[in-house]
Amino acid sequence: MTNELTGKRIIVTGCARGMGAATVRTYARAGARVVGMDIDDDGGAAVVAAVNGVENGQQAHYIHVDIADADSVAAAFTEAVQVLGGLDTLAHPAAIQRSSDAGSVSVADWDQMFAVNVRGTMLTNQAAFGHMKDTGGGSIINFGSISGQRPEVSAAAYSAAKGAVHSWTRTAAGTWGAHNVRVNAVLPAMATPMYREAMARATEEQRTASYWQNRRTIALGEEYGDPEKDLGPVMVFLASDASHFITGQLIPVDGGQTSVR
Ligand SMILES: NC(=O)c1ccc[n+]([C@@H]2O[C@H](COP(=O)([O-])OP(=O)(O)OC[C@H]3O[C@@H](n4cnc5c(N)ncnc54)[C@H](O)[C@@H]3O)[C@@H](O)[C@H]2O)c1
């Protein structure tokens, strides 16, 4: 990886594991200055410490955030912008995934899903926009899902929440383009703890159904991708000036599992 992001100041949410952790490593390797945030302080701090040990001589920082909480997001982003001296990119993978059935999902489970995955997207995006709009603009990269594009019988609330993330991404892009703030969403299919935990929770029958619905449809190899090797270059592209004329897009990075129409 070349230093395509030298000088870029980037916040990555959900940095304790999965795609957030991989994105912190990828951005540091590409020369960016990075603040990682998570609700899991031990995990997040460990990822950042490891990055500081090996990646490119860059200093990454860790800051606690609960993305569902407005005060927490405001405080964390203010501190991060002070540490970075500004903000060019927000990468926002932080989210939760839970099983639920359309006929029986409870109000509590529905509200928790929407608090973290939808309100969390709105709050982090608004906070980033507030710091980008008067300083030349920036790039916001949300995380959608194929689950927001199709019926998802085992994850009703998650599916509805990801559909909302897609709509929000288009609306924020349309609203903030005048300030040169771009908003896109990647729709990944990556082997991460979230994916492995969902498989571990599933029954044998559900795993078989999942193979035919999910892995079998990945044209490029029938396997979930690697968050650094397969997603990393796309995250660099969307944070870089090379993507300066792309906004409001849902971009699958999933080996051909889905297509956005
Ligand atoms: N793994 C996949 O194949 C897949 C597929 C489609 C979409 N996605 C989406 O991609 C993104 C990344 O997924 P992943 O597999 O890396 O997930 P993951 O579960 O491995 O990591 C999510 C991170 O978000 C953090 N987090 C959760 N709630 C938080 C909160 N309230 N405040 C701050 N941090 C919080 C967790 O602590 C964790 O570190 C998510 O938005 C997910 O919905 C993943």
- What residue ranges do the domains of the chain occupy? 9-252
Q: Which atom of ligand 1 is nearest to the CA of 158?
A: 43
Over residues 41-57, mean pLDDT: 88
The C-alpha atoms of residue 174 and residue 166 are separated, in whole angstroms, by 13
Residue 116 gets which letter from DSSP? Answer: I
CA of 15 to the centre of ligand 1 (A): 9
Are 11 and 38 a contacting pair, CB within 8 Å? no
Give the burial string for 113-139 (b: 16+ CB within 10 Å, else e): bbbbbbbbbbbbbebbbebbeeeebbb
Q: Are 25 and 51 in contact (CB under 8 A)?
A: yes
In whole angstroms, give the CA distance from residue 175 to residue 162.
20
- At 54 the pLDDT is 77
Confidence of residue 206 (pLDDT cuts 50, 70, 90): confident
Has 224 been annotated as catalytic?
no
Distance in Å, CA 123 to ligand 1 centroid: 16
Given a cut of 80, is residue 19 above it in pLDDT?
yes
9-252 carries CATH number 3.40.140.10: no
Report the pLDDT value the prediction gives residue 57, as an integer from 0 to 100.
60
Protein residue with least CA distance to atom 43, ligand 1: 95
In this structure, are residues 224 and 188 in contact, taking their beta carbons and an 8 Å threshold?
Answer: no
For 52-90, how does the pLDDT look when each residue is reduced to its tens digit (9 = 90+)?
A: 987 656 689 999 999 999 999 999 999 999 999 999 999
Mean pLDDT score, 176-205: 93
Q: What is the pLDDT of residues 210-253, one digit of tens each?
A: 899 999 999 999 999 999 999 999 999 999 999 999 999 999 99
148 CB near ligand 1 (under 6 Å): no
Per-residue pLDDT at 254: 98
Amino acid 198: pLDDT: 86
pLDDT in tens, 119-172: 999 999 999 999 999 999 999 999 999 999 999 999 999 999 999 999 999 999
Q: What is the Cα–Cα distance from 65 to 62, expressed in whole angstroms?
A: 10
The pLDDT, as a whole number, for residue 183 is 99
Please give the distance, rounded to the nearest whole angstrom, from the Cα atom of residue 227 to the centre of ligand 1. Answer: 12
Residue 34: its pLDDT value, please?
97
**Helix (H) or strand (E) run with residue 147 in it:** none
Whether 190 is in the pocket of ligand 1, judged by its Cβ within 6 Å, is yes
